[in-house]
């Protein structure tokens, strides 16, 4: 048995959970269920109850693609050459599969009742996910598929490493701010806080990388 087989089976089980949850809910669903939500987290579009399987299907497809990409990254990424990365990328692949499964369950749950505010469920989970990704950031070696793939990080390994150290800190703490802020604030301000925090945790590492590049890839800030 190949080493990747147990991970693949685990990924398939994780991705199957939302389908089981949707099948459990299906018999008791009304004929029309919410299929889209506005910025306030309120349902603003409706469809047949069979559409409850649409979200799990789309996210399961995305999950499988992500899993196979990260699990086999050494086969087609010329910069992913460190053998010790294999275990990390496989764990990262399972983490993202788990995140997509949780996201699918939240979307499926929100379809059961149009009065459910999906923003209060979704944004805190996304914030915690950003925080977890921040923990992974400094561990990622230079590659073309995961991390801050900027012209300056891909050109210089020191730039990559230092940028991801900075990004890791901002994503960890920024994600916690998002999780707590979006949980406590009303929907619209929560959405604004989430977007602003996302912009900050993306912009700061990007600017850091560029300034390091301009300084000859030396840290002189």
Cβ-based neighbours of 80, under 8 Å, separated by 6 or more: 73, 74, 89, 141, 143, 144, 145
Compute how many other C-beta atoms are within 10 angstroms of the C-beta atom of residue 217: 16
Instruction: Indicate the SS3 state at residue 148.
Output: coil
- What pTM value is reported for the model? 0.71
State the pLDDT at residue 85: 63
Q: Which residue, among 140, 150, 124, 129, has the nearest Cα to 203 in the 3D structure?
A: 150
Residues in the chain with pLDDT values less than 50: 1, 221
Two tokens, residue 42: 């309120």
Give the CA dihedral 18, 23, 29, 33, nearest 10 degrees.
40
Two tokens, residue 181: 């802020």
pLDDT digits (tens, 9 = 90+) for 110-135: 777 656 677 777 888 889 889 988 88
Using alpha carbons only, how large is the chain's radius of gyration in Å?
20
8-state DSSP, 83? T
Distance of CA 153 to the CA centre of its chain: 21
Two tokens, residue 78: 């010329």
State the pLDDT at residue 154: 87
Instruction: Indicate the SS3 state at residue 46.
Output: strand
8-state DSSP, 146? S
State the pLDDT at residue 174: 92
- Tally of CA atoms within 13 A in the half-sphere of 156 that contains its CB: 14
State the pLDDT at residue 168: 92
Task: Report the distance separating Cα 202 and Cα 188, nearest Å.
Answer: 21
β partners of residue 37: 43
């Amino acid at each position: 048995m190949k080493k990747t087989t147990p991970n693949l089976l685990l990924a398939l089980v994780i991705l199957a959970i939302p389908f089981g949850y949707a099948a459990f809910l299906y018999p008791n669903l009304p004929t029309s269920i919410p299929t889209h939500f506005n910025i306030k987290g309120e349902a603003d579009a409706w469809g047949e109850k069979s559409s409850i399987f649409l979200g799990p299907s789309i996210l399961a497809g995305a999950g499988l693609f992500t899993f196979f990409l990260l699990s086999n990254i050494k086969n087609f990424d010329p910069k992913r050459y460190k053998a010790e990365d294999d275990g990390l990328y496989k764990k990262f692949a399972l983490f993202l599969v788990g995140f997509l499964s949780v996201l699918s369950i939240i979307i499926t749950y929100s379809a059961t009742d149009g009065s459910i505010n999906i923003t209060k469920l979704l944004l805190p989970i996304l914030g915690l996910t950003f925080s977890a990704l921040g923990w992974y950031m400094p561990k990622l070696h230079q590659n073309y598929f995961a991390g801050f793939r900027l012209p300056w990080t891909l050109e210089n390994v020191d730039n990559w490493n230092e940028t991801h150290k900075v990004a890791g800190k901002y994503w960890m703490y920024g994600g916690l701010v998002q999780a707590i802020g979006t949980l406590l604030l009303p929907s619209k301000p929560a959405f604004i806080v989430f977007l602003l925090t996302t912009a900050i945790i993306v912009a700061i590492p990007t600017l850091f990388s560029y300034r390091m590049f301009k300084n000859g890839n030396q840290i002189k800030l």
